[in-house]
A and B are shown apart, each in its own frame.
Chain A
Amino acid sequence: MRIKWTFDDGIWNLAFLLDPEDDVKGICSDLAPLELRTNTCQVRLPGGTKSGPDVHPDLLAVAAWTVAAPWTRQKVTFDRPISPALAEVFRTDWGVDAGPVGGDPRSGTRLAISYSGGADSVAAADMIPEAPFIHFQRIRHPRVPNRWEFYRSDVLATLAGETGRDLTIVQSDLELLLNRPGPGYPEHHAVLVGALLLADDMDLGGIATGYEIGSRWLGGDRYIHRYTPDNPMWSADGKWGRLFQAVGLPLVLPVGGISEAVTMRLALESDLRDQVRWCLRGPRSGPCGVCSKCVYKELIQAAIERRPLDTKATTEMPVSRQWQGPPPYSGQEMIEYGCAHVPGIENTLFAKAADYLQATEESTAWVERCYPPAIDEIPEPWRKQVDAYIADKVGLMTADQMRRVETWGAR
C-alpha cells in the first residue's frame, strides 16, 4: 500500500495505491468483511487551522491507516518518514512493513473528545467537562452519487454546535470509500481522523471516545459477542491502542466500563440532555422514532425509567426482524436489561427476545455498575477524574457482577 497526502487550503486529500498483493476485498479489525469502492478521500479542517502540511508525519500515517488498513496485506509506504517507534508497532502488532523510517516521535498534552452527540459520547463529555469536542461530519464524495440522503449528518453537526462546548467540526467523505457493507468507517478509528490531523494544532495528548462496555469488553456491535479483554480496537494493548499511543494520542474510554443504560442515564441527567441524539435520520426537531437505533435506545430508556415501551414500531416492521429470532443480538446485554426492566415487554416487539433471554432484574443488575478494569485502563492523566465521577454517579461492580462480564458469551 502506498499512501499519498496532499494539503490544499485547509483540505487534506488522501490517495492510496494498492500494491500487487493488496486487495479491494478486506477485513475490518472487528472481523467484518469489507469491500473498497474507491481510493481517494478528503478531510476538511476548519478555517484557522495552523499546522497544515507541517503536521507530524506519524499523525498523517495513522490517519491514512484508519482507511487503508483493511486492504493492506504486507507493506505500507508513506509519503513521508514515520518515527521508528511507530514503524515498530506496525511491525510487531500488525505484521506490516511500514516506512520510510526517520524522525522523532510526537507528543502532546490535552485531551479532546471525539463527540458524536449520542448518549455515550455525551456521558463521556459530562465526565470531562473541560475537554474540547471534535465532531466528524460526513459529506458527500465527489466521485460517488449520494444514495444515503436520509443520513442527517448536518443535523448532528448542528446539535453539536448547540452544546456550547469548544467544538471543532471536521468534514470528510471517507465513509464513502466503503462499498460493502455500505457507507461507514473502513476501520472504527477513521472517525478519529480529524483528531489526528488536528492533534498538533490543538496540542492533543489523548483522544476520548464514547465506546462503552459492550464495544470494549463484550465484543458488541459488528464484533464477536464474547468477553474481549484483548479487544484489538479498544484495549490499550491492542494493535490500535498501541498505534495511537505511538503517536502520542492514547485512546481514552471514559465510559468503557459502563453500559449504555448508564451512559443514557448520565446523558439525560447532564447539561447536554437537549442535544443528545442517537438517531442518524431524524430532522433537527427530533429523532425518527422507527429506525433500528431509535427502537433499541427506546428499550434502554424505558428500562432505566421503568416504564412501558413507547414506540411506533411494530413486530411486523422490518426494523423488528432482528429481535424475532434467537440470540445473539447486537448490544445483547442491553436487550437483556430492557427485557428484564420494561413492564409489559411480553406485549411488545421484544416479546420473542424476552422469551429467549429469560433475563431478570437480578441477572442484569451488573449492567448498572462500572467494570473496574476499565478505569485502570484509562491513561494516568485522566484516570482520577473518571474514577471520582464513577464513584459519585455510578458505583463499581461486585466480584460476582464482574464475573458476569468475564464469562459473557461463554454460556
Chain B
Amino acid sequence: MMQSVARILVPSRLRRTARDRIDARYVTKPEHRQDIRNAREDARKDIRKSREDIRKSQEDIRNLRQEVQALRQEAETERRRQDAEAQQAQQEIQALRRDLVALRDEVNRLRQMTTTVNKANDVAVRGQRLAEQTAEALDHVLQNEVRVWQAIDGLSAQTAVTEISR
C-alpha cells in the first residue's frame, strides 16, 4: 500500500521540479544547476526505489505462486492418499463380506452336523431304552416260563393221582 502511494507521488514531485525551473530566474545559475542535479538525483532514487518495489512485488508473487503450487501438490497428495485409503477400505469390506459368507456356510454346516449328531444320539438313547425294555420284558417271560412249568407239573401230578385212585 505504501509503495503504490509512493508511485502516485512521483508525478507531483516532477511537477514541482518544473515549477522550480520556472522560478530559476530568481536563483543563481550554479544554484539552479545544483537544484536540477538534486532533482535528477531524487528522480533516479525514486525510480530505483520503484524498481526495487516492483522486483520485491514480483518476488512476492513468485513466492505466492510457489506456495500455491506446493499447496496444490499437497492437496493432490492428500486426495491420492484418501483415494488409496478408500480403495483399501473397500477391499477390506469385500474381504469381510467373503468371510461372512464363508462363516454363514460353516454355521449352516455345523447346524446340520449337530442335527445329525442329535439324531444319532436319539437313536442311541432309543436303542438303549429298547434294550432295557426288552431285557425287562425278557425277565417277565423267563419268570412266566418258571410259573408255566410249575402249573404244568402241578396239573400232570394231579392227573397222575386221579388215574391211580381210579
Which residues does A use to contact B, with CB under 8 Å? 2, 17-20, 22, 24, 35-39, 143-145, 147, 179
What range describes how many residues of B lie at the interface? 10 to 19
Query: Which of A20, A22, A37 interacts with B143 by CB under 8 Å?
Result: A37
Inter-chain contact A17/B153, CB cutoff 8 Å: yes
Inter-chain contact B143/A147, CB cutoff 8 Å: no
Query: Which of B132, B139, B150 interacts with A179 by CB under 8 Å?
Result: B139
B-chain residues with CB within 8 Å of residue A145 when the two chains form the complex: 131, 134-135, 138
Q: In the complex, A382 Cα to B108 Cα: how many Å?
A: 76
Min CB distance A176 to B, Å, is 10
B75 within 8 A of A: no
Q: In the complex, A36 Cα to B135 Cα: how many Å?
A: 15
B120 within 8 A of A: no
A-chain residues with CB within 8 Å of residue B139 when the two chains form the complex: 37, 144, 179
Min CB distance B143 to A, Å, is 6
A-chain residues with CB within 8 Å of residue B157 when the two chains form the complex: 20
B-chain residues with CB within 8 Å of residue A20 when the two chains form the complex: 150, 153-154, 157
Q: Please classify the interface of chain A as helix (H, G, I), strand (E, B), loop, or mixed, using the class held by over half of its residues.
A: loop
B1 within 8 A of A: no
Q: In the complex, A143 Cα to B135 Cα: how many Å?
A: 10
Min CB distance B44 to A, Å, is 115
8 contacts between A and B (CB under 8 A): A18-B147, A18-B150, A20-B157, A36-B143, A37-B139, A37-B142, A144-B135, A147-B132
Query: Which of B134, B135, B146 interacts with A18 by CB under 8 Å?
Result: B146
When A145-B131, A145-B134 are in contact, do A17 and B142 touch as well, CB less than 8 Å?
A: no
Which residues does B use to contact A, with CB under 8 Å? 131-132, 134-135, 138-139, 142-143, 145-147, 149-150, 153-154, 157
Inter-chain contact A144/B150, CB cutoff 8 Å: no
A-chain residues with CB within 8 Å of residue B134 when the two chains form the complex: 145
B-chain residues with CB within 8 Å of residue A147 when the two chains form the complex: 132, 135
Query: Which of B132, B146, B153 interacts with A36 by CB under 8 Å?
Result: B146
When A145-B135, A147-B135 are in contact, do A19 and B150 touch as well, CB less than 8 Å?
A: yes
Min CB distance B141 to A, Å, is 9
A-chain residues with CB within 8 Å of residue B154 when the two chains form the complex: 19-20
A-chain residues with CB within 8 Å of residue B142 when the two chains form the complex: 37-38, 143-144
Q: In the complex, A143 Cα to B139 Cα: how many Å?
A: 9
Q: In the complex, A55 Cα to B139 Cα: how many Å?
A: 33
Q: In the complex, A24 Cα to B150 Cα: how many Å?
A: 10
Inter-chain contact B131/A24, CB cutoff 8 Å: no
Inter-chain contact B146/A144, CB cutoff 8 Å: no
Query: Which of B135, B143, B150 interacts with A38 by CB under 8 Å?
Result: B143
A-chain residues with CB within 8 Å of residue B135 when the two chains form the complex: 144-145, 147
Inter-chain contact B146/A38, CB cutoff 8 Å: yes
B-chain residues with CB within 8 Å of residue A143 when the two chains form the complex: 138, 142
In order of increasing CB-CB distance, the 4 nearest A-B pairs are A38-B142, A18-B150, A20-B154, A145-B135
Inter-chain contact A24/B138, CB cutoff 8 Å: no
Inter-chain contact A39/B132, CB cutoff 8 Å: no
Q: In the complex, A144 Cα to B131 Cα: how many Å?
A: 12
Q: In the complex, A36 Cα to B140 Cα: how many Å?
A: 10
Inter-chain contact B131/A179, CB cutoff 8 Å: no
B-chain residues with CB within 8 Å of residue A18 when the two chains form the complex: 146-147, 149-150, 153
B-chain residues with CB within 8 Å of residue A38 when the two chains form the complex: 142-143, 145-146
A-chain residues with CB within 8 Å of residue B143 when the two chains form the complex: 24, 35-38, 179
By beta carbon, the residue of chain B nearest A38 is B142
Inter-chain contact B132/A24, CB cutoff 8 Å: no
Q: In the complex, A206 Cα to B6 Cα: how many Å?
A: 147
Min CB distance B161 to A, Å, is 12
A-chain residues with CB within 8 Å of residue B132 when the two chains form the complex: 147
Q: In the complex, A19 Cα to B147 Cα: how many Å?
A: 10
Q: In the complex, A37 Cα to B146 Cα: how many Å?
A: 8
B-chain residues with CB within 8 Å of residue A39 when the two chains form the complex: 146, 149
B-chain residues with CB within 8 Å of residue A22 when the two chains form the complex: 150
Min CB distance A230 to B, Å, is 33
B-chain residues with CB within 8 Å of residue A2 when the two chains form the complex: 153
Q: In the complex, A37 Cα to B145 Cα: how many Å?
A: 10
